[in-house]
């Protein structure tokens, strides 16, 4: 189940984008007080918010601080304009991480969040401050994600978009049936799907960052071939782990997922010879 935190109804004055301080990206819902050896920045799926990772706090060991990322236009940043390109989000988040990070840190992203995490990893690597590990979930490799065949969100009616959201299985039926809730949710989903629809892969040298890829064995949107293609995007360690379930497999397999994420953060993401490992 997807849990979101919403402020009062969005006002009409949402087109004026106010520059947010770096701290806006990291709301105060983190792990218990440290000290920590490392941080894990967690990026949400389309339509999600930082609250998707609220239950992760304290579950990756005493050495790892979980830092949920809040994107513009939701939760504590509700009054801000919704971002509609991966470049805008990745630029802002990379700058925010660079402003506060001087130790070991890694990235986790599910679905759209995986795409954004990849772009942040490239920006931080180019600045000489790469992540220690990149963990991506439920997303085909960016070169393939940029060539998807589905209809763009701009062509979808509200009813069609709601059906697409419902098919993913993470939004409760009572939320989908609530006119008031969908008035709040649909603009967020439209903006996030536009992020994915407008994404264009830029060919760059492979990351020198270990990459762990996680996915649901029955996820039609992220088949094994698409997940396996991440191996070409890094010259470092690569691992692929498959879990029972569909696109939101991690909701039902969270303990197992967290074990894999913890192993990656602690340096356990060794190559598996390119063969998917079923958990």
Topology given in CATH for the domain delimited by 22-278: Rossmann fold (3.40.50)
Going by C-alpha positions, the residue among 253, 259, 213 that lies closest to residue 111 is 213
Residues near 276 by Cβ (< 8 Å), separated by ≥ 6? 224, 227, 228, 240, 241, 242
Instruction: Supply the pLDDT for residue 134.
Output: 98
Would you say 18 and 73 are in contact if contact means Cβ atoms under 8 Å apart?
no
Closest to 193 measured CA to CA, from 266, 85, 269: 85
In the 3-class helix/strand/coil scheme, how is 198-218 assigned residue by residue? CCCCCCCCCECCCEEEEEECC
Q: What is the predicted pLDDT for the residue at 145?
A: 84
Measured CA to CA, the distance from residue 279 to residue 210 in angstroms comes to 20
Residue 48: strand, helix, or coil: coil
The residue ranking higher by pLDDT, 218 or 102, is 218
- In residues, how long is the chain? 279
Instruction: Round the average pLDDT of the chain to a whole number and report it.
Output: 86
8 Å CB contact between 219 and 139: no
CA–CA distance, 111 with 117 (Å, rounded to integer): 10
Q: Let me know if 111 is a catalytic residue.
A: yes
Alpha-carbon distance of 279 to 260, in angstroms, equals 10
Confidence of residue 172 (pLDDT cuts 50, 70, 90): confident
Look at residue 34 and tell me whether its pLDDT is greater than 90.
no
CB 78 within 8 A of CB 5: no
* Domain layout of the chain by residue ranges: 22-278
Of 113-117, 168-172, 224-228, give the lowest mean pLDDT range.
168-172
For residue 148, the cross-strand partners are none
Please report, rounded to a whole number, the percentage of residues in the chain having pLDDT higher than 70.
Answer: 85
The answer to whether the CB of 133 falls within 8 A of the CB of 230 is no
Q: What is 8-24 written as a DSSP string?
A: SPPPS--SSPPPPPGGG
pLDDT tens, residue by residue, 184-199: 889 999 999 999 999 9
User: pLDDT class for 276, splitting at 50, 70, 90?
Assistant: low
pTM (predicted TM-score): 0.87
Q: Which of 111, 137, 228, 260 is catalytic?
A: 111
Q: Please give the Cα distance from 55 to 255 (Å, whole number).
A: 11
Task: Answer yes or no: is pLDDT of 15 > 90.
Answer: no
For 145-167, write each residue's pLDDT tens digit: 866 667 888 888 888 988 888 88
Residue 32 pLDDT: 58
Confidence check: pLDDT of 267 > 60: yes
- Confidence grade of residue 178 (pLDDT, cut at 50, 70, 90): confident
pLDDT tens track for 214-237: 999 999 999 999 999 999 999 999
Bridge partner residues of 104 (DSSP): 38
């Amino acid at each position: 189940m997807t849990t979101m935190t919403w402020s009062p109804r969005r006002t009409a004055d949402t087109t004026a984008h106010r520059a947010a301080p770096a701290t806006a990206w990291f709301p105060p819902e983190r792990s218990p007080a440290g000290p920590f050896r490392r941080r894990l920045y967690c990026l949400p799926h389309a339509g999600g918010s930082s609250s998707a990772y609220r239950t992760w706090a304290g579950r990756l060991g005493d050495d790892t601080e979980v830092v949920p990322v809040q994107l513009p236009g939701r939760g504590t940043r509700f009054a801000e304009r919704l971002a509609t390109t991966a470049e805008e989000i990745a630029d802002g988040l990379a700058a925010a991480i660079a402003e506060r990070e001087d130790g070991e840190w890694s990235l986790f992203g599910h679905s759209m969040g995986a795409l954004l995490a990849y772009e942040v990893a490239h920006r931080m690597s180019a600045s000489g401050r790469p992540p220690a590990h990149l963990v991506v979930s439920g997303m085909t490799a960016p070169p393939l994600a940029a060539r998807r065949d589905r209809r763009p969100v701009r062509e979808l009616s509200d009813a069609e978009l709601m059906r697409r959201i419902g098919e993913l299985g993470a939004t409760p039926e009572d939320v989908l049936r609530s006119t008031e809730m969908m008035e709040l949710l649909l603009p967020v989903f439209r903006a996030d799907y536009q992020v994915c629809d407008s994404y264009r892969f830029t060919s760059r040298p492979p990351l020198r960052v270990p990459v762990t890829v996680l996915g649901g064995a029955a996820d039609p949107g992220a088949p094994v071939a698409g997940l396996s293609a991440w191996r070409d995007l890094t010259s470092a360690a690569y691992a692929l782990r498959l879990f029972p379930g569909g696109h939101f497999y991690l909701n039902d397999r969270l303990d197992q997922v967290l074990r894999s994420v913890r192993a990656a953060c602690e340096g356990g993401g060794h190559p598996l010879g390119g063969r998917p490992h079923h958990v």
